[in-house]
Structures are given as structure tokens and as C-alpha cells.
Amino acid sequence: MTPAGSTRTGPPPEGRAGDGGAARSDAAARSAADLVARGAERAGRAGTSRRIAPLMEGRAPCRLPRERHRPATERGAGPERPDDAPPVPPGRSGTAGGPVDGDGPGRDGASRTRSGTRHGPEDDRLGQVEDLADRVGAELAGLLPATGHGDAELGRGIAQLLAFLRKRLAGDYEVDEFGFDPELTGTVLLALLRPLYRRWFRVEVRGVENIPDTGGALVVSNHAGTIALDALMVQLAVHDEHPAHRNLRPLGADLVFSTPVLGHLARKGGATLATTADAELLLSRGEAVGVWPEGFKGVGKPFSERYKLQRFGRGGFVTAALRTRTPIVPCAVVGSEETYPMLGNLPALARLLGLPYLPLTPTWPWLGPLGMVPLPSKWLIEFSEPVRTEEFGHGAQEDPMLVFDLTDQVRQNIQQTLYTLLLHRRSVFF
């Protein structure tokens, strides 16, 4: 084991067995603090602990409920630790002892004095939960390799994570009528997709400024790749690359919302059902909405038909844009077709499972779960000049010919951009 590992002996058992609940809760608080310090040490730098420890100390109130059983005599202020408290491991106080121990009395004082206030059982539970959050944070601090971003940033990140967890566990967050949870999306969902976006597909984005900074916009994109990874990548591209960091609100098929887990994650990520009602409501509220009019026809087309746009539905998206007078931004995605090249389909089995298709790719289902790893194709996403809809007067959505014309115009635009992007791409994977 490493020297840091050898300090893991922790508090001796007799210290915990001292006097029942009080000692135990105290020990729990202390061991959490030890974990923080230890995790920081494991990060390999003495400086880490110095910077993380104060950040963790800033959260002193959360430890209070655990100490409320302490008898009053014990609460007397003083630098000496009570007898039942676990001694500080000598190895630790030698290396990072200064800052960690220096915070010790302050924290103890803080927790002791606040312990006089009454707390309900729910606070106790909250306390336990936060204790857990502390431990997780500390472990994470230890596990993360020392990055070039500096320890202060790492510490700040952990503090933010803990604050986020606390808010989530208390139910203290907002969602909109569609179920969109901006906090969860920004902190968790998009963060999980980012490695895929940056490292795996190395997405290059062009023309993202064609999406207006404010107000409604309808992003219309091609759809491919067996599973709708392209929708997620376009959403992330708009969020990360757009100067206003807009949240694109994807419109999804009803299959998405009837699937357990996927359905509510999609809603929390900002998606809603692809119906005129929802699209118009979002657009009239000035949201950027993403739509994939090819639907399952596009995403489930065989590999041989790659980059050939399918029928664009019935032009419902154009009607919605005309009615709300929002610009249509065509978007072409190259790279999605090669993530899961669909070589075959099992329509009978798909019907049995209630799915629109059941793909066979070079790796799925032959390699089992490994077949679900997408091929690392190189992606290019281009947003074109918006198609303006304000110039068409009121009631333009009632003119089917205009709707068909605009649908065709958008479709042609995306198809042309796809061909241009394909010419520019050096190879499928680079």
C-alpha cells in the first residue's frame, strides 16, 4: 500500500464505543473529515488538502444534526478533544496536519454551539444523507488523478457537486411544464455526453451562430444512426458551442416517452412529444426547438441508404414555425450514419417487441453488450442560414402549397449541406 493507505487505520474501536450515540455521531463526523483529508492526500499533493479542507469546512451546518445528542458538559469550548474522540493519526498530522487540524477546533466549536437548536428526525436523515455526500466527495477527490486544472478548481468542483447533491436530495429544484430540469441537464446529463462528443466523435460544429441568441427557433436536422445519438449531439453542440449556450428542446417520438427510464430522462433533458401543440407552445415561449422530421424512417434506414434524406413527414414542423413566426434553421449532421451501420433488420421480432425495427450491425448483437459501443466516426455538424417565416403573413400555415414548398426547401438545403460536408470529410473515422 501507499503511505497514504497506511494512514487508513482510522479511529480505534474503543473510541467509538465510548458513550453510545453521542460518540458515534461525533466519530462519524470526524471520520468524514478524515476522509476528506485522506482523499485529498491521495490526490498526491499536500496542497490539495489545504485547499479542499476549508471548502468542506464551509459546509459546517450540514454536520450539525449529527452532534446534537452531545451532552452539555462535553460542549464546553476548548481546544482539547473529548476523551471519546478518536485521536488524530500521527502520520497525517505530520504531513497535512497544519491546515486540517487548524480547522478542527473551529469546526468543533461550530457544531457544538449550533447543537442547541432543535431538529426533527428529517434533519437527522438529511444529516446522514449529507454525511454520505461528504464521503462520496472525499472519495472522488482521492480517485481523480491530479489534473492540470489545479487543485483549487478540483476543490471547487467537489463543493459544487456536494451542493448539487444536497439540493437534489432535498427536492429543491425547478422543472418546467414539459419536465425540463435545467440543473440536472447541465450538471449531469450533458456532462455524461460530453466525453462522447469531444473524445469519441470529435464533433466539429459550423454555423452555430445561425441560431438566434434569443427567441424561438426551429432547428431541423437529418436523423440517422439506428439510435438517436445525433439528437443528443446536436443538443450538446447548441449548448456548448452557441454563444448564448441555449438549451435545445428536442421533439421525440412517443416510443421514447413510453419507454421506462428513457422517457423521463428525455423529459428532464428538455425533450417533449413531437406534436404540434407542444412544438408551438415551446416556440411561442421563445425556446430553441429541435426536430427530426424523418423520424424512424431516417434513423432506421439501412446503411446502403446513408446520407439520403427520407420523406420529411407531413411538414408539421413548417406549420408550427409559420404559426409562431419563428425561423427554421436547417442542420446537417455527418458522422451519425457510421456509428451503428445497420446492415440488416429483424422486422418480425421487432413487431413482437413493439419496436419500429430491430437492427443488425457489424457488432450488434454478435458482441453482446460490446456491440452497443458506437463506432468512433468523425462528426461534422453544420447549421445553415435560417429560413425566415415572418415575411409570410398571418394564416400562412393554412396554405398547404406554401407548407410543402418550405418543407422541400429545408429538405433540399440539408441534403446539399450533407453532400458538401461529405466532400470535406477526409475519412469516415478521421
Residues contributing to the site for another protein (CB under 8 A): 58-61, 64, 75, 77, 109-110, 113-114, 116-117, 119-123, 125-126, 169-179, 181, 254-261, 263-264, 267-268, 272-273, 275, 277-278, 281
Give the nearer residue to another protein in terms of CB position, either 144 or 184: 184
Give the nearer residue to another protein in terms of CB position, either 192 or 373: 192
Minimum Å gap between C-beta 57 and another protein is: 10
Biggest CA–CA distance in the chain, Å, is: 86
Minimum Å gap between C-beta 90 and another protein is: 30
The C-alpha cell at 110 is: 461550530
Q: Which of 231, 325, 311, 301 is nearest to 272 (CA)?
A: 231
Give the nearer residue to another protein in terms of CB position, either 133 or 410: 133
What phi and psi, each to the nearest 5 degrees, are found at residue 97?
-55, -40
DSSP character at residue 225:
S
Minimum Å gap between C-beta 171 and another protein is: 3
Q: Which of 116, 4, 126, 110 is nearest to 56 (CA)?
A: 110
Give the nearer residue to another protein in terms of CB position, either 78 or 344: 78
Minimum Å gap between C-beta 152 and another protein is: 18
Minimum Å gap between C-beta 321 and another protein is: 17
Minimum Å gap between C-beta 355 and another protein is: 14
**How many whole angstroms separate alpha carbon 260 and alpha carbon 273?**
15
Give the nearer residue to another protein in terms of CB position, either 134 or 241: 134
Minimum Å gap between C-beta 170 and another protein is: 6
Give the nearer residue to another protein in terms of CB position, either 179 or 207: 179
**How many whole angstroms separate alpha carbon 414 and alpha carbon 33?**
56
- First CA to last CA across the chain, in angstroms? 42
Across-strand partners of 332? 382
The C-alpha cell at 299 is: 434513423
Minimum Å gap between C-beta 79 and another protein is: 14
Minimum Å gap between C-beta 116 and another protein is: 6
**How many whole angstroms separate alpha carbon 279 and alpha carbon 320?**
7
Within 13 A of 338's CA, how many CA atoms are on the CB side?
17
Minimum Å gap between C-beta 362 and another protein is: 30
Give the nearer residue to another protein in terms of CB position, either 280 or 382: 280
Cα dihedral: 329, 335, 341, 347 (round 10): -10
Burial of 391 (0-12, 13-18, 19+ CB in 10 A): exposed
Give the nearer residue to another protein in terms of CB position, either 77 or 423: 77
Give the nearer residue to another protein in terms of CB position, either 12 or 116: 116
3-state DSSP assignment of residue 159: helix
Give the nearer residue to another protein in terms of CB position, either 99 or 270: 270
Q: Degrees (nearest 5) of the Cα angle 142, 144, 150?
A: 100
Minimum Å gap between C-beta 283 and another protein is: 13
DSSP character at residue 387:
B
**How many whole angstroms separate alpha carbon 160 and alpha carbon 401?**
53
**How many whole angstroms separate alpha carbon 275 and alpha carbon 283?**
12
Across-strand partners of 359? 345
Q: Which residues neighbour 141 within 8 Å (Cβ) at sequence distance 6 or greater?
A: 36, 39, 40, 42, 43, 48, 52, 154, 155, 158
The C-alpha cell at 234 is: 446536436
Contact 16, 24 (CB under 8 A): yes
Give the nearer residue to another protein in terms of CB position, either 41 or 57: 57
